[in-house]
């Protein structure tokens, strides 16, 4: 059935833009008229795919939307009425347009899941799969509640990481700019003065002078090299899956930081899997959706292999055991979940452990990093100061 992108006018005279399935333009017009809309323009979307409304919706707005939908559905409000209410309540004009299109498609006979899937930029596959499971089982309110809890967990995790990383990041940037300024402008000024004295300079002074000359001559290279390396790695990851796996494997092997990255990836996996299974999503589909969300290709590949194993009748943990990222304790808890049929509960315990451990590890990392940066800065300034004052002290000693 063709999918039409249309413009219409509602009973209040407001312009409506949306997408809807219909056999012909005449059938589209009848569908819209039945629900109180008058068609003004329509066209089929390319390749039979929905031409989704492009809009930016924050995670907090999605949390508020899911919370309100769950509350209204629990109170017995019909889903179409709840969706139309959210169209009026949302302060984001773009999101209101999306919800208006969703409400219109539901009113036209499309399922809630399909209406939400028409906007993948707003409602990702993980969310729509949970809604689909809730719609199929008749527990749509519970499905919206699960989505809300998951988004709140993700929002809290990102907020914790940002909170503890802002200060060290600012310090690192400030130190980098200070070092560049020091060796590009301050050190060369004293270098010219020392060279005019025509005296034998200490080794530390010569080294600092050489570093200053290099920084002043090649400062664009010093600034551009990190950015160029970052862009090259990003480009390589985009065009070469094997290179991307190597990069993610290297990240996991980093001291301290690698362990935190591993825990974050496994936390995403356990949270997503427990939520999907608890919502009624089949194991295979839950694995496929979790694979895209963990954020590390090494672990994603292990999950993809586990998905193939489950499809062939094997156990998930028998394959995940081959990946070093999954610790024996986590695997043991998952084995118990497989044997007892309570995988969602086992993964919930795993995610709860990570929820308490990740913030502690991050704070510990930055509590070590902050004094380390301070000590390095003191050592750097002390070295530069010593390289400047030693020649003058020797000169004063020669005069006395």
State yes or no: pLDDT of 66 exceeds 50: yes
Q: Residues of the chain with pLDDT > 70: what percent? A: 89
Amino acid 67: pLDDT: 92
State yes or no: pLDDT of 98 exceeds 70: yes
State yes or no: pLDDT of 52 exceeds 70: no
Mean pLDDT score across all residues of the chain: 80
The residue that leads in pLDDT, 264 or 171, is: 264
Residues of the chain with CATH 1.20.81.30: 172-400
For the domain spanning 172-400, the CATH number is 1.20.81.30
Q: Tell me the whole-structure pTM to 2 decimals.
A: 0.67
Over residues 223-262, the pLDDT tens digits come to: 788 889 989 998 988 888 889 889 989 988 888 788 888 8
Amino acid 48: pLDDT: 44
The 3-class secondary structure across the chain, one letter per residue, is: CCEEEEEEECCCCCEEEEEEECCCHHHHHHHHHHCCCEEEEEEECHHHCCCCCCCCCCHHHHHHHHHHHHHHHHCCCCHHHHHHHHHHHCCCHHHHHHHHHHHHHHHCCCCHHHHHHCCCCCCCHHHHHHHHHHHHHCCHHHHHHHHHHHHHHHHHHHHHHHHHHHHHHHHHHHHHHHHHHHHHHHHHHHHHHHHHHCCCCCHHHHHHHHHHHHHHHHHHHHHHHHHHHHHHHHHHHHHCHHHHHHHHHHHHHCCCHHHHHHHHHHHHHHHHHHHHHHCCCCHHHHHHHHHCCCCCHHHHHHHHHHHHHHHCCCCHHHHHCCCCCCCHHHHHHHHHHHHHCCHHHHHHHHHHHHHHHHHHHHHHHHHHHHHHHHHHHHHHHHHHHHHHHHHHHHHHHHHC
């Amino acid at each position: 059935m063709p999918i039409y992108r249309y413009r219409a006018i509602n009973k209040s005279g407001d312009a409506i833009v949306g997408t809807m399935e219909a056999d012909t333009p005449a059938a589209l017009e009848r569908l819209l008229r039945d629900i109180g809309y008058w068609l003004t323009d329509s066209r089929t979307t390319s390749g039979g795919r929905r031409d989704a409304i492009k809009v930016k919706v924050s995670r907090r707005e999605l949390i508020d939307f899911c919370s309100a939908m769950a509350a209204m559905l629990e109170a017995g409000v019909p889903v179409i009425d709840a969706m139309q209410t959210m169209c009026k309540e949302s302060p984001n004009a773009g999101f209101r347009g999306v919800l208006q299109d969703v409400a219109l498609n539901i009113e036209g006979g499309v399922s809630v899941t399909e209406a939400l899937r028409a906007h993948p930029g707003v409602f990702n596959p993980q969310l729509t799969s949970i809604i689909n499971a809730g719609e199929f089982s008749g527990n749509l309110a519970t499905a919206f509640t699960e989505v809300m809890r998951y988004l709140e967990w993700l929002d809290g995790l990102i907020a914790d990481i940002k909170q503890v990383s802002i200060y060290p990041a600012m310090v690192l940037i400030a130190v980098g700019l200070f070092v560049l300024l020091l060796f590009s402008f301050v050190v060369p000024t004293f270098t010219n003065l020392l060279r005019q004295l025509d005296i034998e300079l200490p080794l530390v002074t010569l080294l600092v002078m050489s570093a200053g000359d290099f920084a002043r001559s090649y400062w664009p290279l010093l600034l551009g090299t990190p950015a160029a390396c970052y862009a090259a790695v990003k480009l390589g990851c985009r065009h070469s899956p094997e290179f991307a796996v190597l990069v993610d494997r290297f990240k996991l092997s980093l001291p301290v930081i690698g362990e935190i990255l591993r825990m974050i990836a496994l936390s995403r996996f356990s949270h997503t899997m427990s939520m999907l299974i608890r919502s009624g999503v089949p194991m295979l589909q839950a694995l496929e959706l979790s694979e895209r969300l963990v954020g590390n290709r090494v672990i994603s590949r292990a999950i993809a292999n586990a998905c193939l194993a489950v499809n062939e009748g094997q156990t998930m943990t028998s394959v995940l055991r081959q990946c070093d990222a999954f610790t024996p304790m986590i695997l043991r808890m998952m084995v118990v979940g497989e044997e007892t049929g309570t995988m969602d509960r086992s993964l919930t315990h795993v995610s709860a452990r990570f929820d308490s451990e990740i913030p502690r590890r991050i704070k510990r990392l930055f509590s070590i990093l902050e004094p380390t940066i301070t000590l390095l800065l003191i050592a750097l300034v002390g070295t530069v100061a010593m390289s400047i004052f030693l020649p003058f002290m020797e000169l004063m000693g020669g005069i006395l």
